[in-house]
Amino acid sequence: MLKNYFKIAIAVLQRRKFFTFISLFGISFTLTIIILVSAFISHVLSAGYPDVNRDRELYVSKMHIINKKNRSAYNGGPSFYFISHYVSALKTQEKLAMFSNNSSTNSYASTKKLVINLQYTNDVFWDVLQFNFIEGKPYNKQQLDNGEKVAVISEDTRTNYFGEDVQAVGKYIETDNVQYRVIGVVKSVPFTSNVYADMYAPYTVSKEDFHNTGLMGGYTGILLLRSSGDFDKMRLEFNEMVDKINTTAQNNDQVYTFANTFLESFTRSLPFGEETDSGMTIFLLIVTVIFLLFLLLPTLNLVNINISRIMERSSEIAVRKAFGASSQTLVYQFIVENLILTCIGGIIGVVLSYIILAITNSSNIIPNLALTINFKVLFTSLLACIVFGLLSGVYPAWRMSRMQVTTALKA
């Protein structure tokens, strides 16, 4: 039966080639956009170089403080003191990486001005994040404690500052009027990564006073757990720590901060994220609504084309009904035909997406960002095809099933 439906569907598509082209173009273009956007979102939210352990990591990146007395509110990241004094004391964690927000600094190589994004970290940062070292090695705890002006730079920074394929370890790089001795070169990190920087240095050489005991600042902590099964235990311990801070606060401050997964950390940074709500539900709802709205326009277009096709096939429908074909059989046939059409458009969309991604990756339009179509992206594409086919096929199929034999013969 399905084989016959497939043959009929192909024959119908060949009748009016222009309508077929318009239909396939709308389907393939829509699905290509969905696939490309899905590939980008998947890359940003999934574990990848160098943050490969996200399945057992929790992030401490946002803090909200409300002063009950003067009703003022403060939003930002936690301070170095909060992470190093309070978070580091938690027992469930295995390791704790700390790094600052990026700071843009000016550097000069010969006559060329460079803007170097500098990030300050602790030594455990290099254990939690799995960087690929092209040259040298990371700084250790002793160098950090001694306040040595050493740095790890990215491969791109090495090329821009020292030249193509020049060995940088042992040389000095100057930025923001400070000279650092390069001790390591790592494969460049995509700018979409939360640990993206052109250069990394020990927090002890930062101009910021890391002895300040304020709770808010410009740092992020990554709690590496022994397994993902420790998430609930870690969160419970973290929340108890925050409750203790609020209980002993002397200045009427109410602190809100959480140990989040990467996705929760991402949604909490969006405008609809609140002090007590990560905004995950709203984020997923918005993504779903945008997804459906994006499918709506080509769906309406395909519905109109399908209705036109039905009117062209009115004689065929009348003959089949006269020979006993039920409305249910006709509906089933038309929906299957429409799903075949959308699947063909989906295949074209996947092929176009592969071509566009290959061109984008090879041209390095987005530096160090290699997008791929993985299983999740293909699943999203398949889901889009099914939704697209059903949305655009159900109403025309219903119209066809309601058509009377006499009416169909007169059409």
Give the pLDDT of residue 116: 95
Q: How confident is the model at residue 158 (pLDDT cuts 50, 70, 90)?
A: very high
Phi, psi of 152 (to 5 degrees): -110, 130
Give the pLDDT of residue 321: 64
Q: Which amino acid is at 401?
A: S
87 or 284, higher pLDDT: 87
Question: What is the residue-wise DSSP string for 303-348?
Answer: HHHHHHHHHHTHHHHHHHHHTT--HHHHHHHHHHHHHHHHHHHHHH
Is the pLDDT at 410 greater than 60? The verdict is: no
- The domain locations on the chain are 2-46+281-410, 62-259
Distance CA(332)–CA(403), nearest Å, equals 15
Give the pLDDT of residue 268: 81
Is the pLDDT at 118 greater than 80? The verdict is: yes
Q: How far is CA 58 from the centre of its chain?
A: 17
Give CA separation, 32 vs 163, 297, 346, 361, in Å: 39, 15, 8, 16
Percent of the chain with pLDDT over 90: 38
Q: How confident is the model at residue 294 (pLDDT cuts 50, 70, 90)?
A: confident
Q: How many CB atoms lie under 10 A from the CB of residue 281?
A: 11
Give the pLDDT of residue 55: 92
Is the pLDDT at 7 greater than 80? The verdict is: no
Q: How confident is the model at residue 274 (pLDDT cuts 50, 70, 90)?
A: low
Give the pLDDT of residue 287: 82
Q: How confident is the model at residue 110 (pLDDT cuts 50, 70, 90)?
A: confident
Look at residue 17 and give its three-state secondary structure: helix
317 or 106, higher pLDDT: 106
Q: How confident is the model at residue 35 (pLDDT cuts 50, 70, 90)?
A: confident
Q: How many CB atoms lie under 10 A from the CB of residue 356?
A: 15
Structure tokens at 49: 């170089």
The mean pLDDT of the chain is: 83
- Greatest distance between any 2 Cα atoms in the chain: 94
Distance CA(298)–CA(345), nearest Å, equals 12
Give the pLDDT of residue 122: 96
Q: How far is CA 104 from the centre of its chain?
A: 24
Distance CA(2)–CA(327), nearest Å, equals 17
Residue pair 332/9 in contact by the 8 Å Cβ criterion: no
CA neighbours closer than 13 Å in the CB half-sphere of residue 111: 0
Mean pLDDT, to the nearest integer, of 196-204?
Answer: 96
Percent of the chain with pLDDT over 70: 79
Is the pLDDT at 189 greater than 90? The verdict is: yes
Give the pLDDT of residue 210: 76
Strongest mean pLDDT among 132-136, 262-266, 303-307, 388-392:
132-136
Is the pLDDT at 147 greater than 60? The verdict is: yes
Is the pLDDT at 197 greater than 90? The verdict is: yes
Strongest mean pLDDT among 9-13, 92-96, 382-386:
92-96
Give the pLDDT of residue 178: 93
* pLDDT tens for each residue of 347-405: 888 889 889 988 888 887 777 888 888 777 777 777 777 777 776 767 666 666 666 65
Structure tokens at 166: 């020049």
Angle, helix 17-45 to helix 280-312, in steps of 10 degrees: 170
Give the pLDDT of residue 308: 67
Asked, as a colleague might, if the bond just before 367 is cis with ω within 30 of 0, I would say: no
Is the pLDDT at 120 greater than 80? The verdict is: yes
* pLDDT tens for each residue of 47-62: 889 999 999 999 999 8
Mean pLDDT, to the nearest integer, of 282-309?
Answer: 75
Residues whose CB is less than 8 angstroms from the CB of residue 10 and which lie 6 or more positions away in sequence, other chains included: 340
Q: How confident is the model at residue 228 (pLDDT cuts 50, 70, 90)?
A: confident
Distance CA(163)–CA(114), nearest Å, equals 13
